Amino acid sequence: MIEVFKILNGSYDAKVVPPLERNLDSRTFGHSLKLKVDRCKYDVRKFSFYNRVVNIWNLLRDNVVLSVSLNMFKNSLDTHWKGELLYYDFEASL
């Protein structure tokens, strides 16, 4: 998610990063930075970076996606995913 945030906010050169197509349909619910969901027939495209992150990105809340800085995004993402099963606690003892 951090990489998607960086790509959409122009932290990388546009020639180097994969193109992330924004969903410009005005009838979508949620935040204004939703990404377009592509249908894929082959596994090569199905398991690419774009297709793995688009659904997760579209489920994020407005206050997370529209963060002003990268650090604010990271903090908002951590608080958003605090109760989720996907949350990874890197400070937990193994």
**Domain boundary assignment for the chain:** 2-80
Among 60, 13, 74, 69, residue whose Cα is nearest residue 32: 60
| Dist. CA 5–CA 39, nearest whole Å | 22
Nearest alpha-carbon partner for 68 in 79, 56, 76, 60: 76
- Which amino acid belongs to residue 57? W
pLDDT digits (tens, 9 = 90+) for 14-62: 788 877 777 767 666 777 788 877 777 777 777 777 778 888 888 888 8
pTM score, whole prediction: 0.71
Residue-level pLDDT at 69: 93
Q: Which residues pair with 42 in a beta bridge?
A: none
